[in-house]
Chain A
Amino acid sequence: KNQVEQSPQSLIILEGKNCTLQCNYTVSPFSNLRWYKQDTGRGPVSLTIMTFSENTKSNGRYTATLDADTKQSSLHITASQLSDSASYICVVSANSNYQLIWGAGTKLIIKP
């Protein structure tokens, strides 16, 4: 069964600190993996997209990694800001029908 699991479910850190969010997936055949940021009451916004051959992708203070062998991905946020408070969702695209398999998300709260 195609699944995407994220951890932790929620995370609270102080402004300026770094953090890493995890995503494990069992999706086959794999097409790509995206990290989305969803602010409360808003639609998701894409942060990064990685295909099978890519190990890392950066977007400003966001750096995503992908290990296709272990089927794990991480999203690292450096020098966190209050505006980083949001839900971060890992989404894997299955190659067979371009279906998107959504993780439950990690709710990140940045405290001043």
Chain B
Amino acid sequence: GAVVSQHPSRVICKSGTSVKIECRSLDFQATTMFWYRQFPKQSLMLMATSNEGSKATYEQGVEKDKFLINHASLTLSTLTVTSAHPEDSSFYICSARPPGLAGDGTQYFGPGTRLLVL
């Protein structure tokens, strides 16, 4: 149980285009999902917290107009990188919090999406 999937697993795009990444909780409903970014040899950095049916909460320094997050259902959150540039190239990981386990910080992580912007 507690499986989180991401699609696509890797994407290559041209500078200036937009890229959408999907995060799905496959066997549980997640009212809260998280989006992280990880640069080479660094740990995960939280970008935003996505709550179903409401606006996402972005961490300091993360541009909300550049990284659009939509959490339209209890099993799906999407991250759209708009007008992507080479510096947006990174490993994007989502996680989902199962209901009832918010108190101990439990999150289940997706396999990640490798984005390369040329």
Residues of A whose CB lies within 8 Å of any CB of B are 31-32, 34, 41-46, 49, 51, 89, 93, 98-100, 102-105, 107
Contact = CB atoms under 8 A, between A and B. Distances in A.
B44 interface: yes
A44 B46 contact: no
A100 B112 contact: no
**Chain B, interface residues (CB within 8 Å), range:** 20 to 34
Main secondary structure of the interface of A (DSSP, over half): strand
Nearest to A36: B109
10 contacts: A31-B104, A34-B105, A41-B114, A42-B112, A44-B109, A89-B43, A89-B44, A98-B105, A102-B43, A103-B43
Nearest to A4: B43
A101 to B, nearest CB: 10
